[in-house]
Amino acid sequence: MSVARTPLVAGNWKMHKTVTEAEEFIQGLLPRVSTSEGVEVAICPAFTALQAMVDSTRGSRVQVFAQTMHQAGHGAFTGEVSAAMLTELDVHGVILGHSERRELFGETDKALALKVPAALEAGLVPILCVGETDEERERGDTERKLRHQIQEGLSKVQAAEIPRVVIAYEPIWAIGTGKVASVEQAQEAAGFIRALVADRSAEQAEHVRVLYGGSVKAQNARELLALPDVDGALVGGASLEAESFAAIVAAAG
């Protein structure tokens, strides 16, 4: 029996938008997505704009996610924030293991194995990002890389909690490059990810949402979001303008 999964379209703003710019964006987005049915919508602002966006989206269909967090509850970790600091703001979830965090800031699978359960325990929805580089795909190492990242990322998550984890398949060669994965590549990877989750629990794997991320635009969203194992999108560049982001949301509904 197939399980209905509500698609999630999340906009990763990265290091874009001051509070003023975020407010301007959200005033443009809210009316555009107010009637989109059957899809969850999230924005992922910088830490500095989280509180303002939580306040401005209260009572709307738009959720607010952070872009990263530390695994520890507190401590001498200059520049980091904890799960409790996010939940106190009423943040809904957090992106974990984005390839830019992995590549530029040394985030490891070992740390992510702690971050995912820490987020869940605090009541946050984690979006765990996984994906291969161009060279890994060329070498035929895509599945090995995804297996490692998924197994590590979920290693300390109780089986019953697995459906609360969202997994984003983001081929690194497609992020910010305009080079989108083909529908075959996206479906193959998303299906493989679901099969990896099924190794932990076949039943829970049916409930896990797998997003595609990597140069999603209004023009290519519909075919990607229609794939059987793709349950939404993690959007970078095209989430910075209310109009293009709303068009992607509409394609998911």
Question: How many chain residues touch ligand PEP (CB under 6 A)?
Answer: 13
Footprint of ligand PEP on 66-95 (CB under 6 A): none
Q: Please report how close the Cβ of residue 12 comes to ligand PEP at its closest, in angstroms.
A: 4
As a whole number of angstroms, the distance between CA 149 and CA 92 comes to 23
**Is 98 assigned a catalytic role?**
yes
CA 224 to chain centre: 15
214 binds ligand PEP (CB under 6 A): yes
Instruction: Compute the distance between CA of residue 101 and CA of residue 213 in angstroms, rounded to an integer.
Output: 15
Q: Does 117 bind ligand PEP (CB under 6 A)?
A: no
Kindly tell me which residue out of 235, 246, 249, 252 binds ligand PEP, with binding defined by CB under 6 A: 235
Q: Alpha-carbon distance 71 to 74, whole Å? A: 9
Q: Is 170 a catalytic residue?
A: yes
DSSP one-letter code for 179? -
By the 10 Å C-beta count (0-12 exposed, 13-18 middle, 19+ buried), 77 is classed as exposed
Which candidate, 15, 14, 7, places its Cα nearest to that of 222? 7
Active-site choice (98, 100, 107, 152): 98
The piece of 23-31, 114-122, 190-198, 210-218 that touches ligand PEP (CB under 6 A) is: 210-218
Residue nearest to ligand PEP (CB): 236
Catalytically annotated residues: 98, 170
Binding site for ligand PEP (CB under 6 A): 12, 170, 175-176, 213-216, 234-238
